[in-house]
Amino acid sequence: MFRSVSYRSGGYCSIVPPYLLRRLAAQQEPGFSGAAEAAQKALLHVKSFQAARAELTVLAVPAARGLKPGAPERTIYDARSLEQLPGSLVRNEGKPPSGDPAADEAYDGLGHTHRLYADAFGRDSIDGKGLPLEATVHYGKRYDNAFWDGRQMVFGDGDGVVFERFTKSLSVIGHELAHGVTQFSGGLNYRNQAGALNESLSDVFGALVEQYAKQQSTAEASWLIGEGLFTDQVQGAALRSMKAPGTAYDDDVLGKDPQPDSMDSYVRTSADNGGVHINSGIPNRAFCLVATALGGNAWDAPAQIWYDTLTGGTLAPNATFGAFAKATAASAKELFGADSKEHDAVRSAWETVKVKL
């Protein structure tokens, strides 16, 4: 049974920023017509559903504590280039690989994400209550995006000129599913600084999913979001760099990565719901600075602080960077002590990116 694509009110979150899609949609260079058309279509989705999402007010719900995480329950569907969800069943929990790279990458990515939350935080799936994880691959024709629609993951195949298939990047899968975590327990609106925090938290946990799956230390990690999505025609490594915001790409077609790395270059704009994908670079860098200062594995103390802040029920829906910074400092103090290196690292990181606690 198919259903027409529908988005739970306020649930739609996509990985490719609107400003990047706009650049690509406006291209008239030979060889980019197909990519421009694909970007135009993806941009229509983003515009339609982010507008509805921005008006949603959500309430923070503290995460359930002390529950024993269960095993993942994954189901992968194939849309077969249609825009109907969920599509045809191609693989479910415990079954062998399907032979379709996109389906099997999605299956593995859902598993890696479930494992991080279970092992690092004792969380039972995305909602904390064992939510089955579903994903649809091969959505639309040359669809230039991946998104969380409020209940499942959806992946396009990319246009083949600028973007590869969106299941190729584990950080993308982790990023989008983290929007589900925020949806179920974080309570952050999707506009202005609260929206940028929403996006940043997805980048943080997307990076952590990849690092945990590869068992990479903080020093070994790339801190790139969407690495592997660009074809070799693009001068760029990824959609975003958490370690060095503003350096992920610099391309004749896509332009230069516009993310700021501190409040000194904060972007004031009404586009993209107040710059949620642009200004997320500031809290992204703050997390990376904490992880670098502490060393070891980022899914340990740094992630515990950020996760406790997200799920603790103290964040207002319209939280600012300053409010979030104070909340992370409070979490670090509660978890590790006022005189701890963790507390010092958090305070120093926010000071470096010019966010006042």
High-pLDDT (> 70) share of the chain, %:
91
Task: Provide the pLDDT for residue 8.
Answer: 40
pLDDT band at 96 (very low <50, low <70, confident <90, very high): very high
pLDDT band at 65 (very low <50, low <70, confident <90, very high): low
List the chain domain ranges: 192-352
DSSP 65-112: -SPPP----EEEEE-TTSSEES-EEEEETTPPP-S-HHHHHHHHHHHH
pLDDT at residue 7 greater than cutoff 50:
no
What is the set of active-site residues? 176, 277
Rounded to whole angstroms, the Cα distance separating 297 from 303 reads: 9
Tell me: the pLDDT tens digits for 16-26? 999 999 999 99
Q: What is the CATH number of domain 192-352?
A: 1.10.390.10
pLDDT band at 9 (very low <50, low <70, confident <90, very high): very low
pTM exceeding 0.85: yes
Task: Provide the pLDDT for residue 30.
Answer: 73
pLDDT at residue 57 greater than cutoff 90:
no
pLDDT at residue 91 greater than cutoff 50:
yes
Own/partner long-range contacts of 240-249 (Cβ < 8 Å, ≥24 apart): 240/203, 240/280, 240/281, 240/284, 242/203, 242/204, 242/207, 242/281, 242/284, 242/285, 242/287, 242/288, 243/285, 243/288, 243/292, 244/285, 245/281, 245/282, 245/284, 245/285, 246/281, 248/224
Tell me: the pLDDT tens digits for 208-266? 999 999 999 999 999 999 999 999 999 999 999 999 999 999 999 999 999 999 999 99
Tell me: the pLDDT tens digits for 300-354? 999 999 999 999 989 999 999 999 999 999 999 999 999 999 999 999 999 999 9
Task: Provide the pLDDT for residue 56.
Answer: 45
Rounded to the nearest integer, the mean pLDDT of the chain is 91
Angle between helices 321-336 and 341-352 (to 10 degrees): 170
Rounded to whole angstroms, the Cα distance separating 224 from 237 reads: 8
How much is the average pLDDT of 291-308?
Answer: 98
